[in-house]
Amino acid sequence: MSIFGFALKGAVAASLLLGASAAIAADIKVGANVGNVPWEFQDETGKIVGFEVDLVNEAGKRIGSGVEFVNIPFNGLFAAVQSGQIDAAVSSITITPKRLQSVSFAQPYYDSDQSLSVLTKSGIKDLSGMSGKVVGVDTGSTGDMWATKEKDTYKFADIRRYEGLSPAMLDLAAGRIDGYISDIPAVLYYIKDKPNYAVVQRIPTGEQYSVMFAKDSPLAAKVNAEITKMKQDGTLAALHKKWFGSDVDPATSTAKVMDMPKAP
C-alpha cells in the first residue's frame, strides 16, 4: 500500500473514531414544561433547575451523555416524544395505562395525588365549595382529565386550562378562577411562603411520575437502570431531601426499586 493509501486509511479511521466519540457524547434532548416547580423551573439567574432536572442530568452523566432541555408546553410533550423531536420528557408526568399504549416510561420515582388549592380568604373548604365556580387545571394533565370527568359531579361552572402552575396561581390570586386542581407536591412547594393560598383538599389518584420516552425506545431501559442505581445508592433520597425538605418514605417509589411499567 502506498504512503497515500496509509494516510487515507488513517484519515478514515480517525473520522470513524471522531464519529463514534460524537455519538457517545451526543446530548439527550429532554422536553420539559419549564415553570413546573419544583420539578423544572428557572431560578433567579435563568438557569433551569428542579428535582427532575437533577435526576435527568445525573442519569445522563451516568450513561455518558449530556442533557439538553427543551421548553415545551405539557400537552405538546407527548407528540414531541413520539415524533422524535425530543428523546425523553419530564414534567411530573403520570404513568397511565392509556399513555403506555403509545409511549414508554422508566420505573416511577415519585408517588403523588391531585389537590384543590384556593385563596385563603375565599372560605372554600373543599370540592363541595366549588359548585358554580371556575376551576383551573394544567392542559392535558391528570388534573385536567379528573376535573373534566367530575365536572358535573361537583358542578364546576367552567374549567380553564393553563400551561403551568405559575400562570394558574396568578389568575387564582387575581380572582379569574376560584380554585386550582394540580399535583399536590408542586402546589405545596409553591405556596410554602405564600399564606394567601391554601391547599384545602387532597384528591387521591394514586399517581406515579416518571421519565417518558418514545414507545420501546432503547434509551428507556438505560435510564431505568440508572434510576435503579440512584435509588440503591441514596441519590434519589438526597434529591428528595434537597427539593422537598423531608426524608423519603421507604414505602414510596422514590425509595423502592420497581419494574418498568408495561402496557396492559
pLDDT at 79 over 80: yes
Predicted pLDDT of residue 26:
66
Predicted pLDDT of residue 192:
84
**Joined grid coordinates for residue 204:** 387521591
Q: What are the beta bridge partners of residue 89?
A: 31, 212
The residue behind cell 434532548 is 29
How confident is the model over 119-130, as pLDDT tens digits? 999 999 999 999
Residue 14 is inside which H or E element, if any? helix 3-25
What is the C-alpha separation between 178 and 130, in angstroms, rounded?
7
Closest by CA to 125, choosing from 179, 174, 169, is 179
Give the other-Cβ count within 10 Å of 3's Cβ. Answer: 7
Strands 110-119 and 158-162: unpaired
pLDDT at 72 over 60: yes
Strand-by-strand arrangement of the 158-162 sheet: 158-162, 134-138, 179-183, 110-119, 197-209
- The residue type found at 95 is I
pLDDT at 81 over 50: yes
Confidence of residue 264 (pLDDT cuts 50, 70, 90): confident
Structural domains of the chain ordered from first start: 3-109+210-244 (3.40.190.10), 112-207 (3.40.190.10)
Confidence of residue 18 (pLDDT cuts 50, 70, 90): very low
Stretch among 112-116, 220-224, 247-251 having the lowest mean pLDDT: 247-251
pLDDT at 246 over 70: yes
Confidence of residue 244 (pLDDT cuts 50, 70, 90): confident
Confidence of residue 17 (pLDDT cuts 50, 70, 90): very low
Report pTM.
0.77
Kindly report the average pLDDT of the chain as a whole number: 90
Give the other-Cβ count within 10 Å of 111's Cβ. Answer: 16
How confident is the model over 188-217, as pLDDT tens digits? 888 988 999 999 999 998 999 999 999 999
What is the C-alpha separation between 41 and 51, in angstroms, rounded?
10
Q: C-alpha distances in angstroms, 1 versus 9, 11, 15, 34, 217?
A: 10, 15, 20, 57, 44
What is the C-alpha separation between 237 and 51, in angstroms, rounded?
11
pLDDT at 59 over 90: yes
Q: Are 38 and 186 in contact (CB under 8 A)?
A: yes
DSSP classification of residue 129 = G
Stretch among 19-23, 35-39, 80-84, 203-207 having the lowest mean pLDDT: 19-23
